Amino acid sequence: MLNPVKVGLLGLGTVGGGTINVLQRNAQEISRRAGRGIVVTHASARDLTKPRLCHTDGITLTTEPFDVINDPNVDIIAELIGGTTLAKELVLKAINNGKHVVTANKALIALHGNEIFAAAQQKGVMVAFEAAVAGGIPIIKAIREGLTGNQIAWLAGIINGTSNFILSEMRDKGRDFADVLNEAQRLGYAEADPTFDVEGIDAGHKLTILASIAFGIPLQFDKVYTEGITQITREDVGYAEELGYRIKLLGIAKRTEKGIELRVHPTFIPVQHLIANVNGVMNAIVVRGDAVGQTLYYGAGAGADPTASAVVADLVDVVRMLTTDPENHVPHLAFQANALSNVAILPISDIESIYYLRMTALDRLGVLAQVTRILSDCGISIEAIMQKAPPDDVDQVPIVLLTHAVLEKQVNQAIAQIEALEGIHGHVKKIRVEMLEQ
Amino acid sequence: MLNPVKVGLLGLGTVGGGTINVLQRNAQEISRRAGRGIVVTHASARDLTKPRLCHTDGITLTTEPFDVINDPNVDIIAELIGGTTLAKELVLKAINNGKHVVTANKALIALHGNEIFAAAQQKGVMVAFEAAVAGGIPIIKAIREGLTGNQIAWLAGIINGTSNFILSEMRDKGRDFADVLNEAQRLGYAEADPTFDVEGIDAGHKLTILASIAFGIPLQFDKVYTEGITQITREDVGYAEELGYRIKLLGIAKRTEKGIELRVHPTFIPVQHLIANVNGVMNAIVVRGDAVGQTLYYGAGAGADPTASAVVADLVDVVRMLTTDPENHVPHLAFQANALSNVAILPISDIESIYYLRMTALDRLGVLAQVTRILSDCGISIEAIMQKAPPDDVDQVPIVLLTHAVLEKQVNQAIAQIEALEGIHGHVKKIRVEMLEQ
């Protein structure tokens, strides 16, 4: 295999630390996908004495970010310092040095993307920015590559987790805006200065980017209307509910006959729509294309690991483009053909699951006791059980229960014994249960 | 601009017709994205006299698909005939002829993908198959490129629209399986022979593909456990509801310490989970990665236009790879830098929206009449209105209303007049309403 690609990281904060952690933890998986290792060799941070969330052994550390972008051994720069002044200077200089750039910086792209992309195109380097919008959700890729057959009619997104957390809490607990904001700050979901989040500016940056890739228009943040959630009261949240709506801070980009609408504001949306049920700090974007109809993309919009997920995906994109043959730069099965693994596929009897069991008991004393005894003997705990009283003229009673997680073969064994009971009529119905956690 | 890329289409049924329609309707948009036109020049169909859903003017038609794949002028073959015998032969021959291939054929990829991909790699051609899983949802791209930083822990998807329609109807209307199946067949959601859909085989094909790209394992449909929905009764649906669950036919791929689980079966899932609320013929897939956490992808899993959306996206992927410079094969803003448009961004006063208005009236006779009069004079119809009786000791009454869709400037004008009324206390709160339809 080729030598690893060398990444220089600007910024060792939340996202920088997360990126190093993900690259280290999933190194093997990532190189099986990229066809080549990806290693952070250089990193800059303002204060090198600060405790870090990641291991920096083997990484050349400096307080001088220009040293990183000027190092001839670095192939790709990951800009993770945020802000639009120093970050802009660094990114443009890195491009000028012939480095590919990956950035998580939405403000930088929304405000200076046109200039940055022009410079990159001139120098023949890549600039990737999936992490700039909606954290780990691959929404840039979905619109830019997945929906290329469509004329996009509109998109609408919950693209600021802090605001969504506040609105969710106001609704769930009938609390006031200021009260929830305080808690969000305490939990680290909101900055000490929450203006960018609660006034819709952060969402406006992201909307600027989404609208450009949806409609093919230049980035123009200055044309985005932004209105935050600070004026939303408990009363509004309550009336919305009574009328069948939820209030969400949406970024909306819409193509109309008169022109394009770009706006961020609190919005009533029907409770039946999937996106109305996106709660807490989660993000989601609905995109309506003329061919595909509505599609929705949901996930974590911020945080160290989710944002790192997008940064690393961009790094892999760059590496795949640099490294592999053009006809197969993305392997058919995501992993390089020579890196597929032969891990065993389990037979269904060896899976572990929670089970719903339904059976019909003849209404005789003791049948339920026999059933629970069999389950217990087979090592199966019961999570919930329902036995309904039968109508007067019927002597068959349905028994319904949920087990704890067990092996399928244990359940099958128990079912065979239960079906053999005299007091049980017919077969035991078995349906697997998935909690979809973790 | 370069000459258009020439596509040969195998099959002029639902997906083939949809693909021609989308390519024609969005020709300009697509070439702005791809940097080059994409034109169907050749197409084959079993019966050329059949009425078509698309215009075939300018397309060389034949009943002999081998003529299409052997034509030296065709650059890319789109295989849209389905099945695994003739389709396999055609695809392998097209690859051997040095053509790139796009296919919507899940059974073909699930059963013969390993062989097809090996042939493609050897010949240095691309094989793309986004349309094979979940129709227009770009789920292959999301997992294969968007989540490359992650170790995927599991994925679970509603990936058969027919089954989901049947289960949704059974739940909503308390109907029986057989009854709903009949209706689905009448509506065209279910085939005359529904076995593949209701027995989980179609979902098994798709799960095979998703599992391979998630875990980096060879395609192995024969190891997938499949169990359909034919044994699910109204009783099970009802008990699920009582216990806080919904029944969905899920395709589940899970990495465990003992091996990988690949299974399709009816599954209880908690009603609170977003995917439990995916109804009708819609598809959705939840993917859990170690870095990103849970992400969800939702959209139409079948149908002419949604499937065509994915076929065309694959065509654009191939064209971008063939055509543009490697460093910018996907344009930063999705459209070629020289193809951005300067369409106007509307000021917020020019947008059209539904509005929620909340105001406080002094409890005097006639205030409500004055408010509705002003709205009417400004050309604003009222969709809903609530005026609550105040507590006995309070003389201020909240008035809450929803308008029909109007221009924001009209609403602002009305608000200014309402706020000037003697009977109105303080400001009128205005929140925009989006129905998120169409």
Predicted confidence at residue A52, as pLDDT, reads 86
Residue B91 lies in a domain: yes
- pLDDT: which is higher, B187 or A59: A59
Enumerate residues 6+ apart whose C-beta is below 8 A from A98.
Answer: A123, A125
Which of A124, A315, A358 is facing B327, going by the closest CB pair? A124
Which of A143, A299, A306 is facing B296, going by the closest CB pair? A299
Mean pLDDT of chain A: 95
Question: Which residue on chain B is closest to A35 by alpha carbon?
Answer: B148
Residue A127 lies in a domain: yes
Query: Bridge partners of B360?
Result: B398, B425
Structure tokens at A252: 């909306």
Show the 3-state SS of chain A: CCCCEEEEEECCCHHHHHHHHHHHHCHHHHHHHHCCCEEEEEEECCCCCCCCCCCCCCCEEECCHHHHHHCCCCCEEEECCCCCCHHHHHHHHHHHCCCEEEECCHHHHHHHHHHHHHHHHHHCCCEECHHHCCCCCCHHHHHHHHCCCCCEEEEEEECCHHHHHHHHHHHHHCCCHHHHHHHHHHHCCCCCCCHHHHCCHHHHHHHHHHHHHHHCCCCCHHHCEECCCCCCCHHHHHHHHHHCEEEEEEEEEEECCCCEEEEEEEEEEECCCHHHHCCCCEEEEEEEECCCEEEEEEEECCCHHHHHHHHHHHHHHHHHHHHCCHHHCCCCCCCCHHHCCCCCECCHHHCEEEEEEEEEEECCCCHHHHHHHHHHHCCCCEEEEEECCCCCCCCEEEEEEEECCEEHHHHHHHHHHHHCCCCEEEEEEEEEECCCCC
Task: Say yes or no: B173 and B259 in one domain.
Answer: yes
* Position A325 pLDDT exceeds 70: no
Q: Is B248 a catalytic residue?
A: no
Residue B66 lies in a domain: yes
* Position A327 pLDDT exceeds 90: no
Give per-residue pLDDT as tens, A309-320.
Answer: 999 999 999 999
Mean pLDDT of B6-16: 97
* Position B325 pLDDT exceeds 90: no
> In which domain, by residue range, is A191 found?
139-301
Say which residue the tokens 């400004």 belong to: B378
Task: Say yes or no: A146 and A292 in one domain.
Answer: yes
Give per-residue pLDDT as tens, A133-154.
Answer: 999 999 999 999 999 999 999 9
Per DSSP, the residues of B327-352 read GGSS-TTSS-GGG---PPBPPGGG-E
Residue A438 lies in a domain: no
Residue A147 CB-density burial (10 A; 0-12 exposed, 13-18 middle, 19+ buried): buried
The alpha-carbon gap from B97 to the nearest alpha carbon of chain A, in Å, equals 15
- Active-site residue among A88, A206, A248, A254? A206
Structure tokens at A398: 């349905």
Contact state of A436 with B256 under an 8 Å Cβ cutoff: no
Task: Say yes or no: B310 and B292 in one domain.
Answer: no
As a whole number of angstroms, the distance between CA A32 and CA B120 comes to: 19
Q: Which residues of A are less than 8 Å from B127 in CB distance?
A: 332
Task: Say yes or no: A235 and A147 in one domain.
Answer: yes
Task: Say yes or no: B155 and B278 in one domain.
Answer: yes
B152-158 and B293-300 strand pairing:
unpaired
> What is the CATH classification number for the domain harbouring B373?
3.30.70.260
Mean pLDDT of chain B: 95
Q: Which residues of B are less than 8 Å from A138 in CB distance?
A: 141-142, 145-147, 295
Give per-residue pLDDT as tens, A19-40.
Answer: 999 999 999 999 999 999 999 9
Residue A187 CB-density burial (10 A; 0-12 exposed, 13-18 middle, 19+ buried): exposed
Give per-residue pLDDT as tens, A253-282.
Answer: 999 999 999 999 999 999 999 999 999 999
As a whole number of angstroms, the distance between CA A110 and CA B435 comes to: 28
Q: Which residues of B are less than 8 Å from A170 in CB distance?
A: none
Residue B192 lies in a domain: yes
As a whole number of angstroms, the distance between CA B438 and CA A152 comes to: 11
Enumerate residues 6+ apart whose C-beta is below 8 A from A165.
Answer: A180, A184, A189, A190, A280, A281
The tally of domains found in chain B comes to 3
Task: Say yes or no: A97 and A239 in one domain.
Answer: no
Task: Say yes or no: B293 and B383 in one domain.
Answer: no
Task: Say yes or no: B250 and B314 in one domain.
Answer: no
Enumerate residues 6+ apart whose C-beta is below 8 A from A100.
Answer: A75, A76, A77, A125, A126, A127, A128, A318, A322
- Closest by Cα among B425, B431, B437 to B397: B425
Report phi then psi at A6, rounded to 5: -100, 125
Angle among Cα B286, A245, B355 to the nearest 5 degrees reads 125
* Position A304 pLDDT exceeds 90: yes
Predicted confidence at residue A187, as pLDDT, reads 87
**Which residue of B171, B263, B267, B436 is the best one to mutate when testing the A interface, meaning the one whose CB has the most A CBs within 10 A?**
B436
Contact state of B120 with A332 under an 8 Å Cβ cutoff: yes
Residue B159 lies in a domain: yes
Residue B11 lies in a domain: yes
> What is the CATH classification number for the domain harbouring B148?
3.30.360.10
Q: Which residues of A are less than 8 Å from B207 in CB distance?
A: none
* Position B76 pLDDT exceeds 90: yes
Give per-residue pLDDT as tens, A195-216.
Answer: 999 999 999 999 999 999 999 9
Amino acid at B394: V
Contact state of A149 with B316 under an 8 Å Cβ cutoff: yes
Q: Which residues of A are less than 8 Å from B297 in CB distance?
A: 142, 295-298
Contact state of B310 with A149 under an 8 Å Cβ cutoff: yes
Task: Say yes or no: B150 and B288 in one domain.
Answer: yes
Structure tokens at A236: 């509004």
Predicted confidence at residue A324, as pLDDT, reads 58
Which of A29, A286, A299 is facing B151, going by the closest CB pair? A29
Longest dimension (CA), chain A: 87
* Position A1 pLDDT exceeds 80: no
The alpha-carbon gap from A152 to the nearest alpha carbon of chain B, in Å, equals 10
The residue from B287, B316, B339 where one domain ends is B339
What percent of chain B clears pLDDT 70, i.e. is strictly above it? Answer: 98
Task: Say yes or no: A202 and A241 in one domain.
Answer: yes
Model confidence at A322, in pLDDT bands (50, 70, 90)? confident
Report phi then psi at A395, rounded to 5: -110, 20
Structure tokens at B248: 């969905």
A132 within 8 A of A156, measured Cβ to Cβ? no
The residue from B300, B328, B357 where one domain ends is B300
Residue A71 lies in a domain: yes
Which stretch of DSSP H or E encloses residue B358? Answer: strand B352-362
Contact state of B325 with A124 under an 8 Å Cβ cutoff: yes
Mean pLDDT of B174-188: 92
Task: Say yes or no: B192 and B335 in one domain.
Answer: no
Task: Say yes or no: B194 and B88 in one domain.
Answer: no
The alpha-carbon gap from A65 to the nearest alpha carbon of chain B, in Å, equals 25
Give per-residue pLDDT as tens, B261-307.
Answer: 999 999 999 999 999 999 999 999 999 999 999 999 999 999 999 99
Enumerate residues 6+ apart whose C-beta is below 8 A from A50.
Answer: A12
Per DSSP, the residues of B76-87 read EEEE-S-SSSHH
The response to whether A262 counts as a known ligand-binding position is no
